[in-house]
Structure 1
Amino acid sequence: MIPKSRLPTSCAQQHTGHSRRSALQAGAIGILGLGMNHLAGLRQATASEGSRPSGKAKSCIFIFLSGGLSQHDSFDMKPNAPDNIRGEFKPIATKTPGLQICEHLPKLAQRSHLWSLCRSLTHGSNEHSAAHHIMLTGHSDLPTGFSPNNPSRSDHASIAAIAGYAMRSKQQNNLPPSVVLPERLVHSSGRVIPGQHAGAMGPQHDPWMIEASPFHNTSYGAFPEYGFDHQDRGKPDSRLFQAPQLSLPDGLGMQSVHGRLALLDSLNRQRENLASYAQVENFDRLRQGAVSLLTESAVHQALDVTHADDKHLDRYGRNSFGWSLLMARRLVGAGVSLVQVNLGNDETWDTHGNAFPHLKNNLFPPTDQALSALLDDLNSTGELDETLVVVAGEFGRAPQITWLEKHYKLPGRDHWGAVQSVLFAGGGIRGGNVIGKSDAQGAYPAQQPVKPENFAATLYDAMGIPATAAWHDAENRPHHIYSGEPIAGLF
């Protein structure tokens, strides 16, 4: 718990009595016929007032690579290491003198002046579900009672949920402040991966899920162009990328808008009905977000990415990676504060075997193309200065190449929480910069180790969330948002 002296004035007031403003707000609840369940939203608005740091980013696109990107084969290559460590790929020069990355990321290499790397992020888990929770929440510790098979309301809140809570008052619209797309992360067994939701903050603060990519338990990657199966089991993948399929946070009283809204005329019907309904019903800000998501024309355009013009589709790619990053770019343009983009379903980047052909042919091409197009778009309009772009996974990959012949035709690398590389761009990030260093084998940090707490704090700080910010639970107890300092040297 934070000492009262460290809380923003508006937060500390909640423990010293009710202000005139909060009394007026409480009275308005009865006048508007809303009800006590809306006090949480009012408390949230009050708590977010007060001084803020001068973070440049108005929005953030958090690109998550579920499964774990191999640092050796992407952004932290070890060409002088032994054969069983350095791998099959060769490094190439970037636009930044002395900085090299993988030969199969040529577009990003040409744009190194726009991004920076942290090569020393580290945590202690090599298990997928625990590591997802660690990186998606920014907490190295696991909560009491943590279960890898069952997300719980005792879990830590996700970065997306925290940012959505803290950034709401900065928005000039009623759109959801935080969105996750194009799918939830679901294991091949069907269990939902922990760390994606608001956890202890409560379901009313869950990020909004835009589920445009149907679940498939054996196919991964950027379908339909670059879809693949890790173990080549030959099961057909006939998925369609259709947006939007909205999964709204619980407790908003708008369950009727659940379900797939595949056609534009269906969207229009929803828009007309909701707009009419909103004229005769008093919606609080949380419910109004649900209405706005369906009624704003800018949101319609943002979600309808598969029908974008050829120029955009050719640049981003006609696949789930390209469509997802184009959707994210449009949503932040429409005013959403944070968009988490899952590039591939759960464990897409889990390259235990067949690693080198899958990275070379299926994963790097659509990622290199779509991420480069996103950076170009934001840079050309000047929005990159106000949009933080981050790329990370739940962990890195092991130094030694291994071969699980029972499951894979070719070798790969195992899980490795001890070090991974993270890419940052925009939002005041200094381009062409490298923070931290791994050892000669790419196994452990050798300089400036960075924890998930520092990673989360960097996102919060860049977005202007004050270091003293807190969220409040149902008993009105404050919980400090920051658990570490921002990564030094990035900005």
Structure 2
Amino acid sequence: MKCDGNQMSRRTMLTVGAVGGLGLTLSDFFRMKSAQADQKHYDFVQAKAQSIIHIYLPGGMAHQESFDPKPYAPIEYRGELNPIKTNTGEQFCETLPQLSQLADKIAVIRSMTHGEAAHERGTHNMFTGYRPSPALNYPSMGSVVSHEYGPRNNLPPYVCIPSVPNEFASNGYLSSSFAPFSLGADPASAGFKVQDLSLPEKVTEERFTRRRSALDAVNDYFTKRDKSDNIGAMNTFYERAYSLISSKQAREAFNIEAESAAVRDEYGRNTAGQRLLMARRLVGAGARFVTLTYGGWDMHAQITRGMKNALPSLDQGLSALIKDLDRSGQLSSTLIMVSSEFGRTPKINKDAGRDHWPKVFSVMLAGGGIKGGTIYGTSNATASEPETDAVGPEDLATTIYHQLGIVADKELMSPGDRPIEIVDGGKVIKGLLA
């Protein structure tokens, strides 16, 4: 793949103008920032997972008050909340009663670790599998999956709910055609509607088709006169845009109102529940990688109250998602990942909260060939560092790619034709695999 920056040719400008004539903005997803060529798509071969739902909890969720309680530590370390037994005999925090009864279907990494205590740098690690570099912007896992496999069933391969959560969730050095599609609105909100998905008023399907034919004629004229890589890339890019807008089946995937009242109630009529339900609809319809965010977990003060407020909705919605996918037979091919940029300090601070702590924290996985009922790795008695089987972001990313059938040390071409491995130095965590 070659990138030549953000230069806009005369042909590109006319194309944008023609789309603007339709009243379509499509600015967040259907816009090329850089040229892209030699794009390759591969079918899923011997992959355990065909889709990923990445639930990202921004701010740094406390492992002690969720998946890794320490009931025998002193009170200033264990906190005020109590552990409960899971259906496998392990212990989760009392904040996760429903997930504790699905422990046989999930895996928890209790030995996740890296060295970045700043939100931005920790986030970069978890989205890309790389430490931040001043010399290169690395692509997110979602963008790599988009690059390797492309769209399915006319749906964007990589979708963010409700919006792109941070700069590291995007395409990095890859072409912006591999950036995520953003819903631009919260599925839990009244009158939810995806931005740029419907034709504007007064633009009929017939008029839309007629305008596209005119645009194709303009594009063909310039394509015959300009053989540069960015022409083919732009054509591919707009073909994806038209496919989404013109496909009723693809548009219907975003219609959360099509779900029964009982299903929406099962997930929870709240932010977490409806975002998780939307994610299930999208992967079921063909999206390959869906990232959704929920909550704010940077709890430097009053962590007991904060976790009691934030976790019930997640516990309900995530449990509903696992059960829903299991009932439909899709859990085996859909990998669910719950992550955060780091954990929280072992000791409660003076404000009854916990501060940033990247030395050890927890990640939850389910489905997609992951072995249920697994606790991988351990933290020590005060949850301050890994005691066994430390896992780095590069190991987690390598394992995720492995389940998708992507070779993590495959080289992609960055600007300047420099080969860069998708992940550098990671290993597949075999103890997590079914």
Q: Answer whether TM exceeds 0.5 for this pair.
A: yes
Rate the CA distance shift 1:268–1:197 in 2: closer, same or farther, 3 A.
Answer: farther
- 1:119 aligns to 2:110 (yes or no): yes
Rate the CA distance shift 1:268–1:321 in 2: closer, same or farther, 3 A.
Answer: farther
- 1:469 aligns to 2:410 (yes or no): yes
Note the 1:241-320 alignment, pairs <5 A.
Answer: 242-245=192-195, 257=196, 266=200, 274-278=208-212, 281-282=215-216, 284-305=235-256, 308-320=259-271
Cα deviation 1:369-398 (Å, max 9, x = unaligned): 110111111111111110000000000111
> Who is 2:21 aligned against?
none
Contact 1:351 1:414 in 2 (8 A): yes
Q: Distance in 1 between matches of 2:202 and 2:109?
A: 45
- Partner letter of residue 64 of structure 2? H
Structure 1 stretches (4+) deviating beyond 6 angstroms?
none
Percent of aligned positions that are identical: 36
Q: Distance in 2 between matches of 1:356 and 1:159?
A: 32
- Partner letter of residue 401 of structure 1? I
Identify unmatched segments of 5+ residues in structure 1. 1-10, 15-32, 146-153, 186-192, 214-222, 225-238, 246-256, 405-410
Contact 2:173 2:415 in 1 (8 A): no
| SS of residue paired to 1:175 | coil
Q: Report the CA distance between 1:41 and its aligned residue.
A: 5.2
Cα deviation 1:7-30 (Å, max 9, x = unaligned): xxxx9xx9xxxxxxxxxxxxxxxx
Q: Distance in 1 between matches of 2:361 and 2:206?
A: 48
Which of 367, 376, 390 does residue 449 from structure 1 map onto? 390
- 1:487 aligns to 2:429 (yes or no): yes
> Who is 1:7 aligned against?
none
Q: Report the CA distance between 1:323 and its aligned residue.
A: 1.2
| SS of residue paired to 1:457 | helix
- 1:107 aligns to 2:98 (yes or no): yes
Which of 38, 46, 68 does residue 43 from structure 1 map onto? 38
- TM-score of the two chains, using structure 2 as the length reference: 0.82
- Partner letter of residue 118 of structure 1? I
Which of 82, 96, 107 does residue 90 from structure 1 map onto? 82
Which of 287, 291, 304 does residue 356 from structure 1 map onto? 304
Q: Report the CA distance between 1:100 and its aligned residue.
A: 1.1
- 1:438 aligns to 2:373 (yes or no): no
Contact 1:132 1:194 in 2 (8 A): no
Contact 1:38 1:284 in 2 (8 A): no
| SS of residue paired to 2:84 | strand
> Who is 1:133 aligned against?
124
Rate the CA distance shift 1:206–1:308 in 2: closer, same or farther, 3 A.
Answer: same
Cα deviation 1:118-149 (Å, max 9, x = unaligned): 1011010111111111111111x22116xxxx
Identify unmatched segments of 5+ residues in structure 2. 3-14, 16-31, 217-233
Contact 2:152 2:287 in 1 (8 A): no
> Who is 1:166 aligned against?
148
Note the 1:171-182 alignment, pairs <5 A.
Answer: 171-182=151-162
Cα deviation 1:273-311 (Å, max 9, x = unaligned): 545544555583322222233333334333232563211
Rate the CA distance shift 1:370–1:296 in 2: closer, same or farther, 3 A.
Answer: farther
Which of 269, 282, 290 does residue 331 from structure 1 map onto? 282
Q: Report the CA distance between 1:466 and its aligned residue.
A: 2.4
Aligned residues: 389
Q: Distance in 1 between matches of 2:127 and 2:237?
A: 23
